[in-house]
Structure 1
Amino acid sequence: MHTAKDKARLMARIRRIKGQAEALERALENEVGCAEVLMLVASMRGAVNGLTAEVMEDHIRHHIVDPANDNSSQARGAAELIDVLRTYIK
């Protein structure tokens, strides 16, 4: 499984998200301003979206077709899909 192969990298992302969630929790407990809370939420959202994009891209490359190793029309379509996902999920 590609997630097992990339486990260390994915776990590092999860730990960063966990740290961001803990910072958000502390901010709420300390009743910081809403602008700071919104910034923390936005950073968490970006981190989760980045993780989602990475897992989806790896899924396409490992279970459908890897554009780096194939020159077929399906591979070109997969490359386009990966680009669209990266843009959409940002």
Structure 2
Amino acid sequence: MTRMTRQGVRHTGVEGRLKRIEGQIRGIARMVEERRYCIEILQQLTAARRALDGVTLQVMKGHINGCVSEAVRKGEGPEKVEELMETLNRFVK
């Protein structure tokens, strides 16, 4: 599904990907309840984290292509670029 945020950025497939990740997390919780082998749990946690990173990058790309590009066209680029840099800094930590 393609949705438009209030700024008009497309988030194609984000909701579906998040629902799949939600299912992964529920599965991991079951694994913990069942006292499954730690390595199996860690593997699933790693997969879930990678999936979240993928969604994060997808949303960032939409933000850059939409909000940041629009701000640059309107002459408001420096503020949006600074906001983006702060967000990227948090993401990579």
Same fold? TM cut 0.5: yes
Matched, 1:56 2:68: no
Q: CA RMSD of the aligned region, Å?
A: 2.3
Q: Percent identity?
A: 29
| Aligned twin of 2:11 | 6
- Superposed CA offset, 1:29-80 (max 9, x none): 10000100000100110011001000001100001228xxxxxxxxxxxxxx
- TM-score, with normalisation over the residues of structure 1? 0.65
SS at structure 2 position matched to 1:32:
coil
Q: 5 Å matches for 1:68-79?
A: none
| Aligned twin of 1:33 | 37
Structure 2 residue runs without a partner (length 5+) = 1-7, 71-87
Q: Which amino acid aligns with 1:30?
A: E
| Aligned twin of 2:49 | 45
Structure 1 consecutive aligned stretches of length 4 or more whose deviation exceeds 3 Å: none
Structure 1 residue runs without a partner (length 5+) = 67-84
- TM-score, with normalisation over the residues of structure 2? 0.63
SS at structure 1 position matched to 2:59:
helix
Of 23, 26, 30, which residue of structure 2 is paired with 1:22? 26
Q: Which amino acid aligns with 1:38?
A: L
Equivalent pairs counted in the alignment come to 68
Q: Which amino acid aligns with 2:31?
A: A
